[in-house]
């Protein structure tokens, strides 16, 4: 497995486990709880250590399922990321939201806590007053942002007492907005991870003829090619989601593929 190093030297695998839609989308869905818990457990057994979730996922139910799945595993071996929703960015709301997320997951600290979306209606200084307190009180080890522009990242970095660990944004071989808007370059220049969500473009990358041809050439899946293209870039990690054990294994192994520079260059030049 390939790793990226955080500012303090801690290693984070470039492929983590996303959990969006596990336990529901914007509302709770209990219909697949056992399957969801079992597959997250299986992911940990396979070798995943980074799990990404959010208070908004399943209206909190996703975090409950994550908590049940990680019970019995060594907490120190896991890296748990969650996110505070944009309506909860006032000082007291951030502290309350983080406490609620930890309670749902039955953990006593968050490895990484992110602002899920910026909210222009709430001063960012109020949010970081709370995030800095979470760090000081060791309720969170690291903080970061999600869906932030370069300008917003710069403001956040100035307000944070510790370096921002990541900006989590939509990025995949079929969607290159972070390249155009400068977020990728900013992250790479400031030792900040770009965490790519929707790394398979909701399946769009899997049907691309070029990606399919490259996958066939190496005897791998299109998903593995698409993930490899992402994480071979400096400071880029990905959090694909799957409830399929084979796909979980394939995604985890994607970082270790050896794809030629010629093929990677052709993916670099792929038009959206």
| Active site residue ranges | 57
Helix (H) or strand (E) holding 268: helix 261-268
Q: Report how far residue 107's alpha carbon sits from residue 118's, in angstroms, rounded to the nearest whole number.
A: 26
Residue appearing with tokens 């490895």: 111
Q: Report how far residue 259's alpha carbon sits from residue 117's, in angstroms, rounded to the nearest whole number.
A: 34
17, β-bridge pairs: 51
Residue 237 and residue 251 in contact, taking contact as beta carbons nearer than 8 Å: no
Query: CA angle 17-254-259, nearest 5°?
Result: 155
Pairing of strands 110-115, 236-238: unpaired
Tokens of 228: 């490899």
Tokens of 211: 């990606």
Residue appearing with tokens 């109020």: 126
């Amino acid at each position: 497995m390939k790793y990226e190093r955080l500012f303090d030297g801690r290693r984070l695998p470039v492929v983590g486990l996303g959990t969006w839609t596990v336990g529901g989308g914007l509302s709770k869905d209990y219909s697949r709880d056992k399957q969801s818990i079992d597959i997250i457990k299986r992911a940990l057994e396979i070798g995943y250590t980074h799990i990404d979730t959010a208070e908004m996922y399943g209206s909190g139910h996703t975090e409950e399922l994550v908590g049940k799945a990680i019970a019995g595993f060594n907490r120190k071996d896991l890296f748990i990321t969650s996110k505070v929703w944009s309506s909860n960015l006032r000082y007291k709301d951030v502290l309350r939201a983080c406490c609620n997320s930890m309670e749902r997951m039955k953990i006593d600290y968050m490895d990484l806590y992110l602002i899920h979306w910026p909210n222009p209606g709430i001063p960012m200084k109020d949010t970081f007053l709370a995030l800095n307190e979470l760090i000081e009180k060791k309720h969170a080890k690291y903080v970061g942002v999600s869906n932030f522009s370069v300008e917003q990242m710069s403001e956040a970095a100035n307000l944070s007492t510790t370096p921002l660990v990541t900006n989590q944004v939509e990025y995949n071989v079929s969607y290159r907005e972070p390249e155009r808007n400068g977020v990728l370059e900013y992250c790479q220049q400031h030792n900040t991870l770009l965490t790519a969500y929707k790394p398979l473009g909701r399946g769009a990358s899997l049907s691309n003829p070029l990606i399919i041809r490259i996958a066939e050439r190496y005897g791998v899946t299109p998903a593995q090619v698409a993930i490899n293209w992402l994480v071979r870039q400096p400071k880029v990690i990905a959090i694909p989601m799957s409830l399929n054990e084979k796909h979980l294994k394939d995604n985890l192994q994607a970082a270790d593929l050896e794809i030629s520079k010629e093929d990677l260059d052709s993916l670099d030049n792929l038009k959206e």
